[in-house]
Amino acid sequence: MCGITGILNFKQQSVEQAVIKKMTDAVAHRGPDADGFFVENEMALGHRRLSIIDLSSAANQPFIDNSGRYAMVFNGEMYNYAEVKSTIKEYAFKSNGDSEVLIAAYAKWGADCIQYFRGMFAFAIWDRQERELFLCRDRMGVKPLYYYIDEERLLFSSETRSILASGLVSKKISTTALMEYFSYQSVSYPYSVIEGIKQLEAGCWMKIRNSKTEKKTYWDASKTKVDFDFSNKTATHQHIKELMLQSVKRRLVSDVPVGAFLSGGVDSSAVVGLMAEAGPAKPNTFTISFQEKEFDESGYAEVVAKKFNTCHNNILLKPTAFLDELKNALDAMDTPSGDGINTYVVSKAIRKNGIVVALSGVGGDELFAGYPIFPQYLQLQEKKLLWLLPKSLRSLASTVFFSGASGSKAGRMQQLLRLDDGSIENVYPVLRQIISPGQIRQLVQLAPSGPFITSVQKELLKRKPDIDKFPLLSQVSLAEYFGYTQHTLLKDTDQMSMAVSLELREPFFDHDLAEFMLSVPDGLKKPVYPKSLLVESVKPLLPDEIVFRKKQGFLFPWDVWLKNELRSFCEMHIKNMSERSFINGHSLLHFWKQFLKGDHRVRWAELWLFVVLEYWLEKNGVE
């Protein structure tokens, strides 16, 4: 796992090494083990290395292939690199890592080399002969890649703050990104929070030559279909187990010890159980425990650890550790997010215990219908007669029954009744929003007066013919993938773990597994009990006390903390935010006062978005 940077000047001007060094230094936390640079005329590459596979200096980057034609910087892991390496007979390898296999594969197959690899990655390859730059990002969007392009140059990096560190890009906030952020607590591609800086889409590559760009989607979740006899329930369970085990085995490839987050929930327990089954080594497991019983899940984790004979580590924290680490976590954010504090604290605790690579159970809810949004969508589809009523009548009903009603749930019901229909592209953006469009219009001056179509909705609309062919629960999984999963969950997992130089690997975000799960019919996937398809598929791996336990998680009293321990911190940033030109200051301050008075219509999560954004803007000097 690493940090990558690059500059390509279009007018044949030489790149100053000092500039690429600034960019690379800004991502030093992503790779504390080594740095390296390639600077040649109009092209410069920078790299920070976190050594995972082939710990020798022979695997340091930037990497030059045997012919000297290609220079590469690579962030991530190619789990099946040994398999691909065995097919490239004509190349004389000098290292034992995945980096050289990738560059050799590109030399042999060009852009098509991606089809051979299984992994999480973002990389750049400079063709010194053709003067062409190739950028690529993994299928699921696990690893980030940002870029900025104008008439003079292209800059790219693993993080936006690295591009800003170049001094070549104006620190101006994107108004479009603001609307995305307030709606969904993060920014969707192609945008970033900075005007002009974009995210390369997941499953895409881009070529830049003679200042012209070519972009191609090489993998699209909505176009995947598998040929399988799902009428055979036993065979379906068996194949899911095989794909899960394959995914875990892939993610155990490492030259350093691999650990695992173990909360004691179904997802993390399944991953740990499969780790124990995958090889002879005892898994290293880590659980965050609390003396306060309302937060503590360590008892469940110990049941799993004992069953699979893991090297278990119980890390005792106080709930206030999340308050103590708050500023560190906010400083770690490359891009503002309303989530991610938990990931930072847990990652830091595990990294302090000497672990560099860990497996996580995130993603199980997305694939196995674990979120409340899945049954909610099914319930809406059962009310199809509702959508046959005239829209004007439904709008009237929403005003009569929900006007003045308190709470975000009532607000969502109002919006749902006013939709054209109950299709996933209309329903999902409403069910996943943090702040409603009406509230945003009250608080943000730049908000459009009419309907605002978010990037997530645009993605779903663009793929509507394909998505409609999937089972209903898989439609929600696809919406999650194009929405919350990529732009909040995976982004936070990456930025918060890499802030402390910890590589997290997510077996549930394996594209072979995802392709199969998207084709599973609703009759098999609909949970009889939480994530029953996953449990039945890995049976008898999980103990009953884990399967049928009450879902808990890190549900800390942030609403109380905002009114007490964090009040002065939040108040200062709310006040500063209220003075910004794009904010309706009076409305925001009133919103804050209503929250302090205990008005249940104002949720802490809504105000927290303004606090985080203001902190981020101040820290990064963004206008």
Residue 398 has pLDDT above 80, yes or no: no
pLDDT of residue 404: 54
| Inter-helix orientation angle 455-462/424-431, to 10° | 160
Cα distances (angstroms) measured from residue 531 to each of 287, 360, 576: 22, 17, 44
Give the pLDDT band of residue 411 (cuts 50, 70, 90). Answer: confident
**In the chain, where does the domain assigned CATH 3.40.50.620 lie?**
223-369+479-547
Residue 445 has pLDDT above 70, yes or no: yes
Q: Where are the alpha helices (DSSP H) in 185-325?
A: 233-250, 266-278, 298-307, 321-324
Give the pLDDT band of residue 280 (cuts 50, 70, 90). Answer: confident
Residue 450 has pLDDT above 80, yes or no: no
Residues, the chain, total?
623
Residue 402 has pLDDT above 70, yes or no: no
| Inter-helix orientation angle 424-431/373-382, to 10° | 140
Encoded amino acid at 160, one letter: T
Q: Are strands 43-49 and 2-9 parallel, antiparallel or unpaired?
A: antiparallel
Record the pTM: 0.94
Give the pLDDT band of residue 37 (cuts 50, 70, 90). Answer: very high
- Just list the catalytic residues: 2
Give the pLDDT band of residue 517 (cuts 50, 70, 90). Answer: very high
Give the pLDDT band of residue 406 (cuts 50, 70, 90). Answer: very low
State the sign of the Cα–Cα–Cα–Cα dihedral 278, 283, 288, 289.
Answer: positive
Give the pLDDT band of residue 522 (cuts 50, 70, 90). Answer: very high
Residue 405 has pLDDT above 60, yes or no: no
Mean pLDDT (whole number) for 493-510: 96
**Quick one: what percent of the chain has pLDDT higher than 90?**
75
Encoded amino acid at 358, one letter: A
pLDDT one-digit tens code per residue, 87-146:
999 999 999 999 999 999 999 999 999 999 999 999 999 999 999 999 999 999 999 999
CB–CB of 251/505 below 8 Å?
yes
Rounded Cα–Cα distance for residues 178 and 31 (Å): 30
E-assigned strand segments in 10-94: 34-40, 43-49, 63-64, 70-78
Mean pLDDT (whole number) for 569-588: 96
Helix (H, G, I), strand (E, B) or coil at 146: strand
CB–CB of 237/175 below 8 Å?
no
Rounded Cα–Cα distance for residues 504 and 360 (Å): 7
Of 141, 599, 616, 187, which is closest to residue 434 (Cα–Cα)? 187
Highest mean pLDDT of the ranges 235-239, 452-456, 540-544: 235-239
What tokens does 302 get? 């110990």
CB–CB of 315/281 below 8 Å?
no
**In the chain, where does the domain assigned CATH 3.60.20.10 lie?**
2-219
What tokens does 41 get? 């005329």
284-289 β-sheet, strand order: 311-316, 284-289, 258-261, 357-359, 503-505
pLDDT of residue 438: 85
Q: Between 413 and 345, name the one with better pLDDT.
A: 345
Q: Where are the alpha helices (DSSP H) in 420-520?
A: 424-431, 437-443, 455-462, 464-467, 472-480, 491-498, 511-519
Residue 553 has pLDDT above 70, yes or no: no
Residue 333 has pLDDT above 80, yes or no: yes
Q: What's the mean per-residue pLDDT of the chain?
A: 92
pLDDT one-digit tens code per residue, 463-486:
999 999 999 999 999 999 999 999
Rounded Cα–Cα distance for residues 295 and 549 (Å): 14
Residue 407 has pLDDT above 60, yes or no: no
Residue 336 has pLDDT above 50, yes or no: yes
Q: Does domain 223-369+479-547 have CATH number 3.40.50.620?
A: yes
Rounded Cα–Cα distance for residues 252 and 242 (Å): 16
Residues contacting 445, CB < 8 A, separation 6+: 581, 582, 583, 584
Q: What are the backbone dihedrals phi and psi of residue 34, each rounded to the nearest 5 degrees, phi first?
A: -165, 155
Rounded Cα–Cα distance for residues 306 and 287 (Å): 13
What tokens does 442 get? 């009250």
Least confident interval from 362-376, 386-400, 512-526:
386-400
**What CATH number is given for 2-219 in this structure?**
3.60.20.10
Rounded Cα–Cα distance for residues 222 and 225 (Å): 8
Encoded amino acid at 92, one letter: A
Mean pLDDT (whole number) for 449-457: 79
What tokens does 137 get? 């990002």
